[in-house]
Amino acid sequence: MVSFDLNLRPALWPAGADAHPTLWDALTLADLVKLSAEEFAYLATDGEAAVLERLWQGHTRLLVVTDGDASLRWFAPDADGELPAYRVPAVDTTAAGDAFVGSLLYRLAVQAINPNELPALVAELPRLHSTLRFAAAAGALTVTRQGSFTAMPDDAEVQAFMETHS
């Protein structure tokens, strides 16, 4: 499974440089792409539909767009959806995306989902939603703590969080 979490930092690109060609070279190689809402908007110079079309022309089979405490959006070539975010008091958002992606990849690995099986996962919405909710819970739990690596929850902590934050 090739995953790509953009983590775009425009200030790190040379002044006046257009990051789009380089980003697209990498994005289309990924089976799973995670973007923030801001990154999705940055790529959507010709609209969101153009971003999706370009991803589907490459290897991508699942795009997940996170937006802090707003709804999480997901897109696949033949379906899309939205899930509510967990609302928690944020202490430090530094590692939220990393916790989300790490937990998403963990849940895919536990289910033995390989890139060719992503369409079947998408077709089974309850399972897809459960997988994404786990990742969202990990991200939400992480922001309630200070730090990055030390803020990352383990499986039991995420499960307990989900039981109390339905």
Mean pLDDT of the 33-56 span:
97
pLDDT class for 166, splitting at 50, 70, 90?
Answer: confident
Model pLDDT, residue 2 = 98
Q: Name the more confident of 68 and 2.
A: 2
pLDDT in tens, 50-101: 999 999 999 999 999 999 989 999 999 999 999 999 999 999 988 999 999 9
Q: Tell me, what DSSP letter sits at residue 71?
A: P
Question: Torsions phi, psi of 30, nearest 5?
Answer: -90, 140
d(CA 125, CA 39): 25
Mean pLDDT of the 129-146 span:
96
Model pLDDT, residue 149 = 86
Range of the domain at 106: 3-164
Q: Which residue has the tokens 């995420």?
A: 158
Which segments of 38-90 are extended strands (E)? 62-66, 72-76, 79-83
pLDDT in tens, 4-23: 999 999 889 899 899 999 99
pLDDT class for 147, splitting at 50, 70, 90?
Answer: confident
pLDDT class for 148, splitting at 50, 70, 90?
Answer: confident
pTM of the full predicted structure?
0.94
- Give the domain CATH number at 98: 3.40.1190.20
Q: What total of structural domains would you count in the chain?
A: 1
Number of C-beta neighbours around residue 33 at 10 A? 28
